[in-house]
């Protein structure tokens, strides 16, 4: 880990000069310069003082941030086929996240299994066809270009009401699929 570079980045985030940081920590500008250029190493006490002046802690400073994956390709989707349905988990391992998006395809007359009441919410956007969202025994029709949203505190399932394939993006929070 480049200690000096991280200190420099933090200092610059707060728009501080080396001299301003040195004054806040009762150090010299030359010492801050040597730290930032990795020419010297601070004691733990000095590093804690510098980090306090920069609004952070030792734990935050040394935490390694994993690179966040933003874009996922079709090659990464996880597909499951059964009884006239195709489920594509479009974000791998989404069950560890706050929401879980799934791309669902239903053949004509096919339906999802009953989803029993649970905490959370359900959202969907119909990409192709016409579906019936059945919540608590009442059907609600949505067609291509329309969306649906409901709390998941009732039994629910989705039927394909059209003659062709229906395709929709279904997002559950918390993850439930």
pLDDT in tens, 35-83: 999 999 999 999 999 999 999 999 888 887 667 788 999 999 999 999 8
Q: 11 to each of 32, 79, 104, 158, how far by Cα in Å?
A: 10, 47, 48, 54
Residue 100: strand pairing partners: 172
Query: Domains in the chain, please, with CATH?
Result: 3-62 (1.10.260.40), 74-173 (2.60.120.10)
Q: What is the CA angle 150-109-88, rounded to 5?
A: 60
Tens-place pLDDT, residues 96-107: 888 999 999 999
Q: Confidence band (pLDDT; 50, 70, 90) for 144?
A: very high
**Phi and psi at residue 38, to the nearest 5°:** 55, 35
User: Nearest CA to 172 among 117, 105, 110?
Assistant: 117
Residue 65 tokens read as: 């941030």
């Amino acid at each position: 880990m480049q200690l000096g570079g991280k200190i420099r980045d933090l200092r610059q985030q707060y728009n501080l000069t080396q001299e301003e940081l040195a004054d806040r920590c009762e150090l010299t500008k030359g010492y801050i310069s040597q730290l930032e250029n990795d020419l010297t190493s601070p004691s733990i006490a000095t590093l804690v003082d510098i980090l306090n002046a920069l609004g952070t802690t030792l734990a935050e400073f040394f935490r390694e941030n994993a690179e966040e994956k933003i874009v996922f390709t079709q090659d990464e989707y996880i597909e499951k086929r059964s009884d006239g349905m195709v489920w594509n988990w479009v974000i791998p391992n989404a069950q560890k996240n706050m929401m879980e998006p799934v791309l669902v395809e239903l053949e004509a007359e096919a339906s999802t299994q009953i989803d029993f009441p649970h905490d959370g919410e359900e959202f969907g956007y119909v990409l192709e066809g016409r579906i019936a969202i059945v919540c608590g025994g009442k059907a609600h029709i949505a067609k291509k270009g329309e969306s649906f949203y409901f709390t998941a505190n009732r039994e629910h399932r989705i039927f394909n009401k059209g003659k062709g394939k229906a395709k929709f993006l279904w997002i559950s929070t918390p993850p439930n699929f």
